[in-house]
Structure 1
Amino acid sequence: MATDQDPESVNRRIARLRKASGLTQQELADRTQLQGPGYSRSYLAQVERGHRLATPAVVSALAAALGLQVADLYGQPYHDALTDDGITTVIGALREALAYVDVPPDISHPRPLEALEADLQGVHVLLQQTRHAKLGALLPALVEETTVHALETGSERAWRALHRAQVAAVRLTRKLGFEDLSELAAERARASALAAQDPHLAVMVTHRRTLLMMARAQWRPALAALAHAARQVDRARPDSSEVLGAIHLRSAVLAARSGDRQAADDFLAQAQEMNGHAARHAHPRDTHGTTFTSGNVAVHHAAVAVEVRDYDAALRRDAHVTGEVAATLIPERHAHHHIDMARALAEIGKPRVALERLERAEHIAPQLTLYHPQARLVTQHLVDAQRTLPAPLRRMASRMRVI
């Protein structure tokens, strides 16, 4: 069981920040009504006491109501773990690399564009495998060198390479809790997409930016942005199924967090339709790093059920993420699914099975699980709920530094 000397949990941090803002539980609950369906005072009290999980939707709504970032409530970035992995120094280098806009970095002999493109393909693999430390070590130099090529040659190919490097920066920094840097990288990526003369690249920047909007409980603006992006998709292009499918899946999660289950189910149906269309026409599934596969659609069905707290439906849908379906999942998405299911199992009082799902996530993608706020939150919840910690849970909690 947690003590006052343990690292501050999310529920305790929420209570502390609420009190620091001079708000009662009722006043904070009232403010969440402005973000969507809102939460009652009694629900908020259960979250603060650790009796209910602070789900992503709850954390986002509370952060917006308090005028804070989600990272503030989660306690991100997790500096101790980042330092151990050698990522802290990389973030500073990446911030500097993204600062070059009009004038290129002073690099006299950047590597040939062909070599940089090959490395960017490797970066794509590292993103899928969630190997944050190795990715971080490569990324600053790739951003700088592709910036040199883009600004000095102005070729669409060079701008496309720079765009890929910047998108990788968006994804890495968001996962690690550096929201401001992720936002900056997204702005840079949008400008590069326009210079590359590829409208679908700009559409996918919007798709990725909505993750940041989701974290701020900006459900309706994010859904509107995705609807606008969908209208920009050229359906004659072979990558249109992937782009539209990714938009529908993101929209489904946004709608679920906003409390509109019917809209979420409608978006899932549209994503399923795009999945079938891609299969019938042998369209590419990963041109933009979305890995839009049958497995990805299946885990989003389960994720939506978790978001609307229909845990029975989530478990039924989880049963379909097996065999050939599961085989289409990249490590990042597969591990994330196990974390989602751990949330559901913890909420319905099945701590042993919840821990097993966290262990499976860690086996598939160790760094993703270590840095994932919800994985840490579920682990903390399991710790708080038990007087005597089983050895596997103690080891997991120790690795995550939540005890």
Structure 2
Amino acid sequence: MSEFNTGAGDPETIGRRIARLRKRAGLTQQGLADLAHISRSLIQQVETGKKNATPSLVAAVAAALHVDPAELYGQPYRGETAHQDRVHAAIPEIRKALAYMDVPPDLDVPLRPLDVLAAEVATLRKLSLAARHVQVGAILPGVLAELSVHAVDHGAPRAWELLNAAQAVAAALARRLGYNDLAGLAIERAATAAARADDPNLPRLVQLSRALLMMTIGAWEPGLKLVRRAGDGMDVSTPAAKAVYGGLHLRAAVLSARAGNESDAWEHFGAAEEIARSLPPRMPDFYALQFNPANVEVHGVAVAVELMDFDEAIRRDARMVKMWQRSPLPPERRAHHEIDMARALVSVNRFDAALRRIVQADRTAPQMARYHPMARETVTRLLDHYRTLPEPLRVLQDRMGLS
């Protein structure tokens, strides 16, 4: 269901979707609360817009109602015009390109050399870190198709390595836009490519992507098992391997927080901090992981937010300005942090501060803010709070199709 409308009634919020799907399942609020192992009052407050729907709540309700969390979020967020909907235009071609694993396509253009395609993959990674979804979609299908020809027809490990990287970008784009089935397919393809490359870190990176998808769909415990297994026996003698190992700990920290395991969350976070401190200060960005002290601190705020320790999140956020001056982060990570802080500030009724942070997220990475469920949920809460809408909030309302 599109969240763009023509003015006839309000767009459907997460709370209203929960109420609609609950009624369709023949459940009372108490019945849903019992199945989801949460309180009836929380269900009531979320359905009526008095409290934010957190990722943990959405996952619990989705499991109780036997639906994909994306359905409760309303994803994918489609537009009413070609311009509003252009971010989705590449999805059919990406689906087609991911089907080429064993039977590469007949190309309509000459096959470019691997060096040229390696530069394209580097560009895709930069665009992905900048949350430039439309631009990623414009380049990605062709790169996937050409790399499939190189990998299958010639079998060079480098071709499989580049194909794995492009498939990881595809998984990230699909997940961000709410196409969880497509993200799963891309991860499966990336696993096949990783097994045929020469880099021993790639299979572990695939597990990192799988765990992120599991977090998206609310499978906290399986995701934790996955990342812990991926780190078992890992050779961390190189900086690249340390970065991957640290990334696994960060993923485990957020998964543990979403599962409500506070001690495990901070233990994994502490391990990631130690690994980040052990790395050279001017280290390359291995695998576009952005594993560095600044990104670790961003995850510390995220852990606190997921644990609903909003005071701790606010305290940690106060240290971020100096950290970012020493170690700048790409737009995707900065915007994600702003969204987390907006969530925290709304939850403690600091609505003006929350508005400033969500506006900053939109300025930093507009395509990310437009399609991020928690950004949209925060804007919805702000719309409910203000009797007279501040102009920045009105702009966000229009951009997100919530008017």
TM class by shorter chain equals over 0.9
Judge which range, 387-396 or 76-85, deviates more.
Answer: 76-85
Which 4+ stretches in 1 moved above 6 angstroms?
A: none
Report the counterpart of residue 287 of structure 2 in structure 1: 288
Report the counterpart of residue 114 of structure 1 in structure 2: 115
Unaligned runs of 5+ in 2: 1-6
TM-score, normalising length: structure 2: 0.94
Q: What residue identity is the alignment partner of 1:378?
A: T
2:300–2:316 contact (8 Å) kept in structure 1: yes
Q: Distance in 1 between matches of 2:252 and 2:58?
A: 19
Q: How does 1:54-203 map to 2 (within 5 A)?
A: 54-80=53-79, 83-84=82-83, 86-107=86-107, 109-203=110-204
* CA deviation string 1:43-101 (max 9, x = no partner): 11111111110011111221122111111011111110794252332111111111112
Q: Distance in 2 between matches of 1:305 and 1:83?
A: 39
1:265 aligns with 2:266: yes
Q: What residue identity is the alignment partner of 1:18?
A: R
TM-fit CA distance, 1:4 = 7.8
1:203–1:233 contact (8 Å) kept in structure 2: no
1:126–1:134 contact (8 Å) kept in structure 2: yes
2:69–2:218 contact (8 Å) kept in structure 1: no
1:220 aligns with 2:221: yes
1:294–1:325 contact (8 Å) kept in structure 2: no
Q: What residue identity is the alignment partner of 1:11?
A: G
Q: Distance in 2 between matches of 1:83 and 1:267?
A: 44
Secondary structure class of the residue paired with 1:13:
helix
Q: Distance in 2 between matches of 1:253 and 1:397?
A: 29
1:102–1:151 contact (8 Å) kept in structure 2: yes
Q: How does 1:236-315 map to 2 (within 5 A)?
A: 236-279=237-280, 284-315=283-314
Instruction: Report how many residues are paired.
Output: 394
Q: What residue identity is the alignment partner of 1:9?
A: T
TM-score, normalising length: structure 1: 0.94
TM-fit CA distance, 1:329 = 1.5
TM-fit CA distance, 1:256 = 0.6
1:391 aligns with 2:391: yes
Q: Distance in 1 between matches of 2:351 and 2:243?
A: 37
Q: Distance in 2 between matches of 1:232 and 1:84?
A: 49
Q: Distance in 2 between matches of 1:4 and 1:259?
A: 40
Q: What residue identity is the alignment partner of 1:393?
A: L
**RMSD value, Cα:** 1.6
Residue identity over aligned pairs, in percent, reads 44
2:257–2:265 contact (8 Å) kept in structure 1: yes
1:82–1:88 contact (8 Å) kept in structure 2: no
Report the counterpart of residue 51 of structure 1 in structure 2: 50
1:8 aligns with 2:9: no
Q: Distance in 2 between matches of 1:283 and 1:247?
A: 21
Q: Distance in 1 between matches of 2:315 and 2:80?
A: 35
